[in-house]
Amino acid sequence: MTDLKSLTLKELEQETAAMGEKPFRARQLYGWMHGKLAAGYGEMTNLPKSFRQKCQERYGYTVLRAVRVQESRIDGTRKYLFELEDGDTVESVLMRYKHGLCVCISSQVGCRMGCRFCASTLDGLERNLRPSEMLEQVYAIIRHTGERVSNVVVMGSGEPLDNYDNLLRFIELLTDENGLHISQRNVTVSTCGLVPRIRQLADRKLQITLALSLHAATDEKRRSLMPIAERYSLGELTEVCAYYFGQTGRRITFEYSLMRGVNDSAADADLLAALVGRLNCHVNLIPVNPIRERDYVQSERKAVDAFGGRLRSRGITVTVRREMGRDIDGACGQLRRRYRDGEA
Ligand code: SAH
């Protein structure tokens, strides 16, 4: 079945033309879906009832319902668990920063990448999310808060580049001037490093930020944490990152989750500096968010500071991710699992 909310305005015009409607109807419908963020056809009062009914019968309407909303008492971060039409659930997070609201969305239900420290991947991949289901995570949060969202990061559950076509369509719709019109520069896509896809994305020359989950500075250590490292070496990764910068002019963000005794030593920092030092990049250090199924432990504050300091002394820009929502299952995939297991 065609999903109207995943169509571009042009495609929607074709679809409604096939229904015998004038092009301006498509524009109105698109405006209701992506501009006014209507939760259903019932709200679209300037469209004829018969047209709305036909749409409902032929296409249905993609909308997400929040089944859990948890708010952090520490920093106001909100975690949403949304139910999809097929009854499965996805997690999204709303974070408040000085420069505005940021929504973190999921790109798949589950994940097949198998990173050792991540809760989203424990049961493998359930399915890809459609563009409309990615958009709806943002839309439903805006409807719930009534506030503007300035940034969107695709850093929730799933590997966005493993759902490549839907991801690109999602970005197109999210940044479209007839929709929310979020600037490409305010969109970040995080990947575990699917090299051919990164190359393809680079050639699109979008102005989004690419975040690359590195977590280790040698192939051997990375392989012990991330199965994807069996497929692509760090050499290939850094090469494609340089290519991405060349094509887009956008500085890469390397994400590095610090795990005590695993990847947080001075030697690890030196290897990391040597690996990325020559790239136009920025390193984001993340204290690992321990999940109950694995025994990774957060690096001590001192170790995080020392690690960052060592990188900085080699001229690398470093930020330490502020931990947000620690009290509300902040790490990807945790809330969905607890809900499914009847614990949340
Ligand atoms: N699949 C994508 C995006 C989802 S995860 C990717 O791999 O980048 C977003 C980020 O959170 C990634 O850097 C991921 O490695 C990291 N991450 C996952 N589980 C984590 C945990 N328990 N603690 C800290 N970071 C984690």
Kindly list the domain boundaries of the chain, sorted by start residue.
Answer: 2-60, 65-340
For residue 235, the SS3 value is: helix
Candidate from 116, 117, 118 with most ligand 1 atoms within 8 A of CB, to mutate: 118
Mean of pLDDT values over 72-83: 92
Residue 287 reports pLDDT greater than 70: yes
pTM: 0.96
In the predicted model, what is the mean pLDDT of the chain? 94
Protein residue with least CA distance to atom 19, ligand 1: 118
Task: Look at strands 125-128 and 108-110 and give their pairing.
Answer: antiparallel
86 Cα: distance to centroid of ligand 1 (angstroms): 26
Protein residue with least CA distance to atom 15, ligand 1: 213
Higher pLDDT, 80 or 322: 80
Alpha helices in 164-300 (DSSP H): 164-174, 195-204, 219-225, 234-248, 266-276
Q: How many whole angstroms separate alpha carbon 298 and alpha carbon 1?
A: 46
pLDDT of residue 331: 61
Closest ligand 1 atom, residue 294 Cα: 22
164 Cα: distance to centroid of ligand 1 (angstroms): 18
Give the number of other CB atoms < 10 A from CB of residue 315.
Answer: 8
Q: Is the CB of 161 under 6 A from ligand 1?
A: no
Q: Is 192 a residue of the active site?
A: no
Closest ligand 1 atom, residue 118 Cα: 19
Mean of pLDDT values over 147-174: 98
- Structural domain 2-60, CATH architecture: Orthogonal Bundle (1.10)
Protein residue with least CA distance to atom 12, ligand 1: 213
Protein residue with least CA distance to atom 4, ligand 1: 155
Residue 166 reports pLDDT greater than 80: yes
Q: Is the CB of 190 under 6 A from ligand 1?
A: yes
pLDDT digits (tens, 9 = 90+) for 20-39: 999 899 999 999 999 999 99
Protein residue with least CA distance to atom 13, ligand 1: 213
Q: Is 343 a residue of the active site?
A: no
Candidate from 112, 188, 190, 321 with most ligand 1 atoms within 8 A of CB, to mutate: 190
Class of the CATH domain delimited by 65-340: alpha beta
Q: How many whole angstroms separate alpha carbon 41 and alpha carbon 4?
A: 12
Protein residue with least CA distance to atom 2, ligand 1: 191
Mean of pLDDT values over 275-302: 92
Candidate from 115, 157, 214 with most ligand 1 atoms within 8 A of CB, to mutate: 115
DSSP 298: B
The lowest-confidence range among 84-88, 216-220, 253-257, 321-325 is 321-325
132 Cα: distance to centroid of ligand 1 (angstroms): 23
pLDDT of residue 76: 87
Give the number of other CB atoms < 10 A from CB of residue 54.
Answer: 16
Give the active site residue among 91, 126, 136, 255.
91
The answer to whether the beta carbons of residues 244 and 198 sit under 8 Å apart is yes
Mean of pLDDT values over 263-272: 98
118 Cα: distance to centroid of ligand 1 (angstroms): 6
Residue 214, C-beta contacts closer than 8 angstroms, at least 6 positions apart:
193, 222, 237, 254, 255, 256, 272, 276
pLDDT of residue 330: 59
Mean of pLDDT values over 145-163: 97
Q: Is the CB of 263 under 6 A from ligand 1?
A: no
Residue 17 reports pLDDT greater than 70: yes
